[in-house]
Amino acid sequence: MSLFLDRQHGGRQLARNLSNLDIPEDAIVLGLARGGVPIAHEVAHILDLELDVFVVRKLGVPAQPELALGAIASGDIRVLNESIVRVLGLSEEKIDRVADRERVELHRREMLYRGDREPLNLSGRTVIIADDGLATGASMAVAIEAIKAQNPAQIIAAVPVAPKRTCEELREKVDQMVCLATPDPFFGVGAWYDDFGETTDEDVRRLLKNGYDLSDDELANGQSGPATILPIDDYGQLVQINTGDVILEGNLQIPPGANGVVLFAHGSGSSRFSPRNRFVAGILRDFQLGTLLIDLLTSDEEAIDQRTRHLRFDIDLLANRLVGAVDWLTMNPRTQTFKIGLFGSSTGAAAAMVAAATRPDPVRAVVSRGGRPDLAGPALKDVRAPTLCLVGSLDLPVITLNQEAIEKIGAHQKQMGLIPGASHLFSEPGTLEQVANQAGKWFRRFLGDEARPAAR
């Protein structure tokens, strides 16, 4: 059973935890390359801190490269596993040859990631070193030693998941150790993510470009190819929405010329910071549509749901919160004249269906992305808003559930669309963009005059 949707989700949850600490404004977040950089990017963005990358290279035993005899890190710091060196009788000459080879690769990656920029100065500053998870903790331990050599004010090691023993060992080496989950048995870091696809060099470079505005010319000097990390844009105006039982936070963005607004209902274990929903929202704004992304659960509820996973399936709760947000949009001076669309993913699609059935006048269109509209149950027959259900062609179980739901939806205009070659998370290149463009056309059709989107 996974704990996190992907590295971005893990990073956002980690940021929420770190926000409870007394972290100075000049603190630096370092991501261990490569998988730790998406984690660090989310932490730095949410906490408004500087971001940089930290490179560690394992030193493999010459005849058994998968066995680590030690590691080297940025700053030419070398740490050896003395017991491995002693048992195998490795000479200093052999160790130096391995270290020299890995040092070349370490320096190559640092140049690739940063261009000609110098690393951030860590002296006297709080350093948060982040990774996507730990197994033995060897790479993190080397990074900690290398950072200590630069005399920081304090070191905070932060990861979403790791074995309890590893966390206990590292806690002795840092000022604070933050780990969200210590499952037992552990199985490995990737087992706790729904999507643990490889973080490429290009991904690291693009995230760092967001972090410290690396120029496009500098970015172009390295590898090219499709990035698996989705574009990150400004969050927009922070708003607070009183739904009657709680106050929810959201981000509202209204582009020039908009006369419709799309309210996002996030899915299982997600939040308004979902990189997928934010990517879709950016394209919808190119269609001259406003967007409102909200958290359907409070931070305390999210913490509970991370352990129990039951609130994400409480459709009545999520739908009531969504209805509260619809009502807020009808009273907010910036949006009170706008037609409203609902965009739901996963269990959020069911909440969107219930909300559309409950507020048929202001809600004029609904789009589901890889959703579970079937969970809306009897409310489906009361949905009057034109409804589009988009599903990946490879997501066979969800295709069947959506076909059954479409039959029950009461709207006269309803349609199901398959995105070729897409799985449940639409992580395949170009598939999420297809979702966004089809959603944009649907919403423009029913929320206002159809218009061609601006060039992206």
- Examine the domain organization and report whether 196 and 111 are in the same domain: yes
Q: Summarize the confidence of residues 307-315 as an average pLDDT.
A: 74
- Examine the domain organization and report whether 53 and 165 are in the same domain: yes
- Examine the domain organization and report whether 405 and 309 are in the same domain: yes
Strand partners, 58: 71
Is the CA virtual torsion 166, 168, 169, 173 positive or negative? positive
Place of tokens 């996507």: 132
Q: What 3-state DSSP class applies to 182?
A: coil
Evaluate the omega torsion of the peptide bond into residue 360 and state whether it is cis, within 30 degrees of 0: no
- Examine the domain organization and report whether 192 and 257 are in the same domain: no
Q: What pLDDT, in 10s, does the model give residues 232-252?
A: 334 578 888 888 778 888 889
* Residues 363, 128: Cα–Cα separation, whole Å: 44
User: Which tokens hold the place of 234?
Assistant: 């400004």
Q: Summarize the confidence of residues 335-340 as an average pLDDT.
A: 94
pLDDT at 268: 56
| Predicted confidence (pLDDT) at residue 450 exceeds the cutoff of 60 | no
| Predicted confidence (pLDDT) at residue 82 exceeds the cutoff of 70 | yes
CATH of the domain at 188: 3.40.50.2020
- Examine the domain organization and report whether 247 and 216 are in the same domain: no
* Residues 108, 110: Cα–Cα separation, whole Å: 6
User: Which tokens hold the place of 210?
Assistant: 């967001």
Main-chain phi, psi angles of 355, to 5 degrees: -65, -40
Say if 241 falls within a structural domain: yes
The answer to whether 213 touches 42, Cβ cutoff 8 Å, is no
Mean pLDDT computed over every residue of the chain: 85
Q: What pLDDT, in 10s, does the model give residues 119-177?
A: 888 999 999 999 999 988 888 988 998 899 889 999 999 999 999 999 999 999 999 99
Say if 151 falls within a structural domain: yes
DSSP 8-state assignment for residue 4: B
Q: What pLDDT, in 10s, does the model give residues 345-366?
A: 988 999 999 999 999 999 999 9
> In the chain, how many domains are there?
2
pLDDT at 270: 62
Closest CA to 329 of 244, 256, 260: 260
- Examine the domain organization and report whether 140 and 268 are in the same domain: no
Closest CA to 242 of 362, 336, 329, 305: 329
Say if 187 falls within a structural domain: yes
DSSP 8-state assignment for residue 286: H
The answer to whether 330 touches 362, Cβ cutoff 8 Å, is yes
- The range of the structural domain enclosing residue 125 comes to 7-220
Residues composing the chain: 456
* Residues 348, 369: Cα–Cα separation, whole Å: 9
pLDDT at 176: 96
pLDDT at 364: 97
Q: What 3-state DSSP class applies to 3?
A: coil
| Predicted confidence (pLDDT) at residue 295 exceeds the cutoff of 90 | no
Q: Summarize the confidence of residues 428-441 as an average pLDDT.
A: 91
pLDDT > 90 in the chain, percent = 43
Count of C-beta atoms within a 10 Å radius of residue 31: 33
- Examine the domain organization and report whether 188 and 272 are in the same domain: no
Taking every pair of C-alpha atoms in the chain, what is the biggest distance, in angstroms? Answer: 78
DSSP code string of 219-283: HHTS--S--SSPP-----EEEEEE-SS-EEEEEEE--TT--EEEEEE--TT--TT-HHHHHHHHH
Output the CA angle 220-224-228, nearest 5 degrees: 120
Pairing of strands 28-32, 126-130: parallel
C-alpha 323 chain-centroid distance = 26
pLDDT at 178: 96
pLDDT at 390: 96
More confident: 443 or 5: 443
Count of C-beta atoms within a 10 Å radius of residue 352: 31
Say if 349 falls within a structural domain: yes
Closest CA to 7 of 34, 30, 46: 34
Last residue of one domain, picked from the residues 167, 194, 220: 220
Sheet holding 176-181, edge to edge: 50-54, 28-32, 126-130, 154-161, 176-181
- Examine the domain organization and report whether 286 and 353 are in the same domain: yes
pLDDT at 220: 37
The answer to whether 205 touches 113, Cβ cutoff 8 Å, is yes
- Examine the domain organization and report whether 303 and 428 are in the same domain: yes
pLDDT > 70 in the chain, percent = 88
Q: What pLDDT, in 10s, does the model give residues 21-54?
A: 889 888 999 999 999 999 999 999 888 889 999 9
Evaluate the omega torsion of the peptide bond into residue 321 and state whether it is cis, within 30 degrees of 0: no
CATH of the domain at 242: 3.40.50.1820
* Residues 156, 135: Cα–Cα separation, whole Å: 18
Q: What pLDDT, in 10s, does the model give residues 369-402?
A: 999 999 999 999 999 999 999 999 999 989 999 9
pLDDT at 296: 84
Pairing of strands 363-369, 290-294: unpaired
- Examine the domain organization and report whether 67 and 166 are in the same domain: yes
Say if 232 falls within a structural domain: no
Say if 365 falls within a structural domain: yes
- Examine the domain organization and report whether 66 and 186 are in the same domain: yes
Last residue of one domain, picked from the residues 154, 185, 220: 220
Say if 1 falls within a structural domain: no
Q: Summarize the confidence of residues 57-69 as an average pLDDT.
A: 77
Say if 175 falls within a structural domain: yes
pLDDT at 231: 32
- Examine the domain organization and report whether 84 and 211 are in the same domain: yes
Last residue of one domain, picked from the residues 192, 220, 248: 220
